[in-house]
Amino acid sequence: MGRRIARQRGQMTLLGLIAIALVVLLIVGVFLYRGRTEREVRVGRISSESTREMLIKLERQVDTLLATSMYEAAFEMGAHGGYIAESVPRLNHYGVPYLFYRGKVVNLPSVKAMQEMYADEVKRRLETKLAVLRRELEGKVVLAVPEVRITLVDDNVLAKMELPVEVQGETRARSRIPISMNLPVRLKRLRDLAERYVRDYTRERRMEKNFLYGMTNDPRIATPGSDLRTIPCEGKTVLSTYNQLVTPFRETAQLAVSLELKRVLESPIYSSEHIQWDVDLNPREVEFSFVANQGEGTYESTDTIRLIPVPFPAVAQSDGLCLSRFFVQYDINFPMRYTIRDVQPTSMTIGATENLAVRPLDFRFYMMPLLLGEDVNAVDVEVTAPETVDDLCHGSCSVDLTITNSDAGTVWLDSCKYRYSGGRLQETGTVCGRLTLIVEPDAQFSLAKYVEQVTIIDNIRSLITLKPFSTVTGSMMEKRRVYCSTLMTVREDPSVPLGAQEGTTPGTVEVILQPLSSRLDRRRVSVDESGAFEIPFVVPGRYLVMAVPSRNEAGVPYQEVESAGFIHEVTEGRNELTIELEPLGLMKVGDKYIGITSTEVC
């Protein structure tokens, strides 16, 4: 009995020791786990803080780039009458739209259309700047295509943007940088002033009235009843010719424009302390035509005004003299460029990144007055341009696209954009013609735009697969060519690398990729000391590749080499280029001039 009790006590002691050991192991494990967890949390915090600092710095940089892009876009839209350059309506004068044309108000951009164009232009310009920033980030942060929304109010431009970012490193983290911007740019106020002016002008056509008054009071211009004289009854007496009327008409137009500008400047409706107006007329662009003596047989003409003889009533014609008469109707129009300038100090725009000059915002548009005979309110019924432009992209064609590796994004047909989702775009009422088709994926960090020239007559159906960005790398070389003065021959030596250098004779060579498709941006980079260069994040497509050496103060190119240029198709992946620049010095060898590097006795 006692032996059994002792054995049971021994078993209990052993179990107690095992239990104590387990508790000790558990406690040690907990401490070890807690220590490991604390270390992981601490490392995570350090990583997050580092990432946060990087994103804060990136946000500041993007904030500055967005503001610069907004200023640049405002300046471009002001210079093109509320349009971006590639969206200017067909009824324009050297890229500046007519807002009044031959008696009609035309092409007035709605605020809605301007907001859409402004957002697209800011996005395009921002992408160019982000391409440079991507290179500076050296792959630590990948930036996707941003979305920009613009709101125009009287005295401000408001922007909201989200920039998708992907942080590389231990853990790939994706985020979006939200940015809001409020710039004191009064683009809408200038646009509204232009609309008010052209609409008021249709109610009282003052320049046509001024022109008619000046024309009827100018003795050099033939008007019915202005010249009653006795002429020979035989033959054709010339009163005036087209060439003789050119100068009087130009001067009359200039006077009419000057009087209208004076009225506008004195009007409190249009001018204020910080708003200036200017009107430019090129006298050589004054156009006129006439029909003289219409229906009068051989006296009818479009280049000469002749007097028609009228016999004296009840008087013998032995002296051979007659009274005279004539009829003439003029068709006169002349393009004038209006500039409304905002000189308010807080509303100045900033120039491009290379030129940060502060400048006033100009809003430019053209007008074309029309005078038909004595009708100062004449309207050309053949002008079919819309009075207000609210949708630049309405047409009669249709598009059916399937994008295999992108769920959502934007499709561009020239400057017209359409959203796709689910990898599909089915759209009717699109624009037609020869267009540049571009597909931009949303928040895709590795996929580039798709670019293709298409002709849409009725509809287009296509299956599209987006490709990753390309990289263009290469080396800059200088051709070495020596002229042997003794033999009067040229020796071709091996080409040598042409790298950048600093010091007493600094210089470099810039490589420029100029896209041959619209809505793609120019890329540029300078070679390093060894002559190597690299341009990442390039959209595949056709580019004009240019190599341009820098110049010294005297204008001499670096290392005295010529610029070079050629067309290159950038394909998917890595593109290697070797660019050889010809020496600038010329030597006549035989009947040819050859570029040489140096001359030697050989």
Q: Considering the domain boundaries, does residue 23 fall inside one? A: no
| Gap between the Cα atoms of 3 and 1, Å rounded | 5
Distances (CA, A) of 337 to 78, 110, 128, 503: 13, 20, 32, 50
- Identify the pLDDT of residue 14: 44
Cα separation, 531 vs 381, whole angstroms: 63
Band of residue 321 on the pLDDT scale cut at 50, 70, 90: confident
If one compares 30 and 484, the residue with the highest pLDDT of the two is 484
108-109/388-389 β-pairing: parallel
The string of pLDDT tens digits covering residues 181-218 is 999 999 999 999 999 999 999 999 999 999 999 999 99
Same domain, 280 and 158: no
Tell me the DSSP string of 240-254.
EEHHHHHHHHHHHHH
Task: Give me the mean pLDDT over the 415-438 stretch.
Answer: 90
Task: Give the residue from 453, 449, 441, 452 showing the smallest Cα distance to 469.
Answer: 449
pLDDT over threshold 70, residue 3: no
146-160, 312-326, 359-373: which range is least confident on average? 312-326
Same domain (yes/no): 439, 315: no
91, 96, 100, 105: CA torsion to nearest 10: 70
* Same-domain pairing of 288 and 352: yes
| Residue 6: predicted pLDDT | 45
What whole-number distance in Å separates Cα of residue 57 and Cα of residue 66?
Answer: 14
Domain end call among 424, 441, 464: 464
Q: Is position 33 within any domain?
A: no
pLDDT digits (tens, 9 = 90+) for 528-578: 999 999 998 898 888 999 999 998 888 888 888 999 999 999 998 899 999
pLDDT, residue 71, reads: 93
Question: What separation in angstroms does the CA of 504 have from each of 103, 201, 310, 395, 507?
Answer: 65, 63, 89, 61, 10
Q: Report yes or no on 18 lying in a domain.
A: no
Integer Cα distance of 537 and 497 in angstroms: 25
pLDDT of residue 288: 94
Q: Read off the DSSP letter of residue 358.
A: E
215 and 332, same structural domain?
yes
359 and 214 in a common domain: yes
Residue 16 lies in a domain: no
Q: Answer whether residue 514 shows pLDDT above 60.
A: yes
State the pLDDT confidence band at 54, using cuts at 50, 70 and 90.
confident
Give the pLDDT of residue 294. Answer: 92
- What six digits make up the tokens of 367? 């007008």
Helix (H), strand (E) at residue 347: none
Structure confidence at residue 172 (pLDDT) = 64
Print the domain residue range for 422. 393-464
In this structure, is residue 309 part of a structural domain?
A: yes
Residues 182 and 220 in one domain: no
pLDDT of residue 314: 65
Residue 559 has a pLDDT of 86
- pLDDT category, 273, cuts 50, 70, 90? confident
My answer on whether 256 and 361 are in the same domain is: yes
Q: Domain boundary at 464, 495, 516, which?
A: 464
Give the end of a domain, one of 163, 186, 209: 186
The pLDDT-based confidence of 22 (bands split at 50, 70, 90) is very low
Contact assessment for residue 190 and residue 156, using Cβ atoms and an 8 Å cutoff: no
Q: State how far the Cα of 259 lies from the Cα of 42, in Å rounded to an integer.
A: 77
Q: CA 71 to CA 274: how far, in whole Å?
A: 19
pLDDT given for residue 350 in this prediction:
65
Which residues does 601 contact at the CB level (< 8 Å), separation at least 6?
484, 485, 486
SS3 212: helix
Which of 497-506's residues contact partners 24+ apart within 8 Å by CB, and which partners? 497/530, 497/531, 498/527, 498/531, 498/559, 498/561, 498/581, 499/527, 499/528, 499/529, 499/530, 499/531, 499/532, 500/526, 500/527, 500/528, 500/529, 501/529, 505/552, 506/550
Mind giving me the DSSP string for 504-568?
SS-B-EEEEEEESSTT---EEEE--TTSEEEEEEEPSEEEEEEEEE-B-TT-PBGGGB--EEEEE
21 belongs to a structural domain:
no
Domains in the chain, number:
4
Which positions ≥6 away from 27 have C-beta within 8 Å? none
pLDDT digits (tens, 9 = 90+) for 61-88: 888 999 999 999 999 999 999 999 888 8
**Residue 121 pLDDT exceeds 60:** yes
Same domain, 294 and 348: yes
Q: Which two tokens stand for residue 599?
A: 């001359």
In what helix (H) or strand (E) does residue 427 lie, and over which residues does it extend? Answer: strand 424-430
What is the spatial distance between Cα 466 and Cα 449, in angstroms, rounded to a whole number?
A: 7
Q: Return the top range by mean pLDDT from 24-38, 157-171, 285-299, 348-362.
A: 285-299
Average pLDDT, rounded, for the chain: 85
Question: pLDDT at residue 97 above 50?
Answer: yes
Q: Which residues pair with 280 in a beta bridge?
A: 337
pLDDT surpassing 70 at residue 280: yes
- Give the whole-angstrom CA distance, residue 265 versus residue 273: 11
Sheet holding 541-549, edge to edge: 523-526, 509-515, 541-549, 564-570
Instruction: State what percent of residues in the chain have pLDDT above 70.
Output: 87
pLDDT exceeds 50 at position 585: yes
Cβ burial, residue 394 (10 Å; 0-12/13-18/19+):
exposed
Instruction: With residue 284 as reference, give the H or E element that holds it.
Output: none
How many angstroms separate the CA atoms of 528 and 508, rounded?
A: 8
Residue 449's pLDDT band, with cuts at 50, 70 and 90, is: confident
For residue 260, the model assigns a pLDDT of 95
Q: Which residue has the higher pLDDT, 408 or 15?
A: 408
- pLDDT band per the 50, 70, 90 thresholds, residue 124: confident
pLDDT at 127: 85
Is the domain of 260 the same as that of 358? yes
**Which is more confidently placed, 49 or 155?**
155
Q: What is the DSSP string of 476-488?
A: EEEEEEEEETTTT
19 located within any domain: no
Same domain, yes or no: 367 and 402: no
**Residue 587, pLDDT above cutoff 90:** no
* Domain-located, residue 449: yes
Provide the pLDDT for residue 414.
Answer: 84
Residue 32's pLDDT band, with cuts at 50, 70 and 90, is very low
Q: How many CB atoms lie within 10 A of CB 565?
A: 12
pLDDT of residue 466: 92
Most confident of 49-58, 113-122, 317-326: 113-122
What is the average pLDDT across 17-33? 38
DSSP state, 298? G
Here the CATH number for the domain that contains residue 425 is 2.60.40.1120
Confidence of residue 46 (pLDDT cuts 50, 70, 90): very low
pLDDT for the residue numbered 42? 30
Contact of 350 with 68, CB cutoff 8 Å: yes
Name, in order, each residue with C-beta under 8 angstroms of 391's C-beta and a sequence gap of 6 or more: 113
Same domain, 195 and 318: yes
**Distance between terminal CA atoms of the chain?**
123
How many Å is the Cα radius of gyration of the chain?
38
290 and 303 assigned to the same domain = yes
Q: Position 407: which residue type?
A: D
Continuous H helices in 236-395: 242-266
Q: Pick 232 or 443 by higher pLDDT.
A: 232
The residue type of 594 is I
> Quick count: other Cβ atoms within 10 Å of Cβ 373?
15
pLDDT at position 537: 86
